[in-house]
Structure 1
């Protein structure tokens, strides 16, 4: 009686051998691995119709005795682990390839690709191992929640200032320049007192920004707000107050939402672009108006003394 053999396609990795047996609706599977030789026998529909098919393969190098297989309606998949993790030059011990055996090009990788795949797997395992050893901060969620709420409060405060000044500008025109301080000073006081937290956060390690840049910005603004605008009544009706407050609020309505999203590891590209691009036109204005807010009242005070 003629022995029928199915078409068998094979592929390999450094650790495993994969066999795909072209036998649909396979049943009565008998698959064993003895003395480094795989024995296969099953009933199914192959190249010669519905018959019994069988084959044997003696592998080039030692393999582990365990064989895993899965039968589907179209094929039988077999996986065998190599004894040593290395690349084989061929599958079988005999140099002449059996006629029923062919490479599985759908799954085939050359040695360099397989090495890259193995390296990627090892890197993933090492990364997971390192991450598991790194001690996670138990208060990380609390810190992020605190920073998110702080930035949200500041955003709402400066947004109120910005919207209030914008609406008054459209309604009153230039007349709104002269009573800006009396209209929004309370909210600006609140926001700038809250901004002192930005000097403390770097000291506590809550943020990665530097201590000195934050201190310079907060101290500079608070000197202008509390010492110059707040204590000198003759300055409170000057247009410079409007421009300084409008400049500060315009910057902050983009800066604080950017920090809010950073707290939840989210990036909005448009906001990121605005956050870093808005400095281009606003920084020169700050260079102009901040000194005006500082030196103009000093010169006025000196004239009064003379």
Structure 2
């Protein structure tokens, strides 16, 4: 039997951010298609299986979308096909599943989206094997060593 992990989401005019709260995830499989179908499956260290499928509101671009698996969660930065504000995360108009929640830490209103498009205050790319400065959809965590020295 599979369960659903908690999924937090936020958007900008050009991206959707999904944070999948699943500590110690292994065998993570994420599939996206340009029509906006997002599929996730993984197991936890104890062998418990997790899986869900989302039909996103609009199309997405695979190029420019990024996924980072951390110790506590999986963070997905998904580039929208068109730079527009979506009315909701999912194509269906009904109430989303209870495991899908708004990520208030990353959320901004449509009117604020242009001022937050760089996401510098919220998001930092922090991948060891990627030297690019593009955002990877990662939460910004301050350098604690630098903070201690100050």
How far off is 1:119 after superposition?
Answer: 9.2
Q: What does residue 106 of structure 2 align with?
A: 107
How far off is 1:83 after superposition?
Answer: 0.5
Bigger relative CO (Cα 8 Å, ≥ 6 apart): 2
| More displaced stretch, 12-21 vs 27-36 | 27-36
Unpaired runs of 5+ residues, structure 2, are 121-150
Bigger helix fraction: 1
The 4+ residue runs of structure 1 with deviation greater than 4 A are none
Q: What does residue 84 of structure 1 align with?
A: 82
When residues 101 and 119 of structure 1 are mapped into structure 2, their CA distance, relative to the original with a 3 A threshold, is: closer
Q: Is the 8 A contact 2:2 2:48 kept in 1?
A: no
How far off is 1:14 after superposition?
Answer: 0.8
Distance (whole Å) between structure 2 residues aligned to residue 25 and residue 68 of structure 1: 20
Bigger strand fraction: 2
How far off is 1:13 after superposition?
Answer: 0.6
Distance (whole Å) between structure 2 residues aligned to residue 39 and residue 118 of structure 1: 26
| More displaced stretch, 49-58 vs 104-113 | 49-58
Q: 1:264-294: per-residue Cα shift (whole Å, max 9, x none)?
A: xxxxxxxxxxxxxxxxxxxxxxxxxxxxxxx
Determine helix, strand or coil for the equivalent of 1:24. coil
Give me the TM-score of the superposition, normalised by structure 2. 0.71
Q: 1:245-275: per-residue Cα shift (whole Å, max 9, x none)?
A: xxxxxxxxxxxxxxxxxxxxxxxxxxxxxxx
1:65 and 2:62 equivalent? yes
Distance (whole Å) between structure 1 residues aligned to residue 12 and residue 32 of structure 2: 19
CA RMSD of aligned residues (A): 2.2
Q: Is the 8 A contact 2:11 2:107 kept in 1?
A: yes
How far off is 1:117 after superposition?
Answer: 2.5
Distance (whole Å) between structure 2 residues aligned to residue 74 and residue 59 of structure 1: 24
How far off is 1:3 after superposition?
Answer: 2.7
Determine helix, strand or coil for the equivalent of 1:107. coil
Distance (whole Å) between structure 2 residues aligned to residue 93 and residue 52 of structure 1: 26
When residues 37 and 119 of structure 1 are mapped into structure 2, their CA distance, relative to the original with a 3 A threshold, is: closer
Distance (whole Å) between structure 2 residues aligned to residue 70 and residue 54 of structure 1: 17
Task: Count how many residue pairs are aligned between Structure 1 and Structure 2.
Answer: 117
Q: What does residue 13 of structure 1 align with?
A: 12
Q: Is the 8 A contact 2:42 2:50 kept in 1?
A: yes
Choose from 45, 49, 52 the match for 1:52. 49
Give me the TM-score of the superposition, normalised by structure 1. 0.36
When residues 118 and 75 of structure 1 are mapped into structure 2, their CA distance, relative to the original with a 3 A threshold, is: closer
Distance (whole Å) between structure 2 residues aligned to residue 119 and residue 72 of structure 1: 22
Q: 1:213-259: per-residue Cα shift (whole Å, max 9, x none)?
A: xxxxxxxxxxxxxxxxxxxxxxxxxxxxxxxxxxxxxxxxxxxxxxx
Q: What does residue 178 of structure 1 align with?
A: none
Distance (whole Å) between structure 2 residues aligned to residue 11 and residue 22 of structure 1: 14
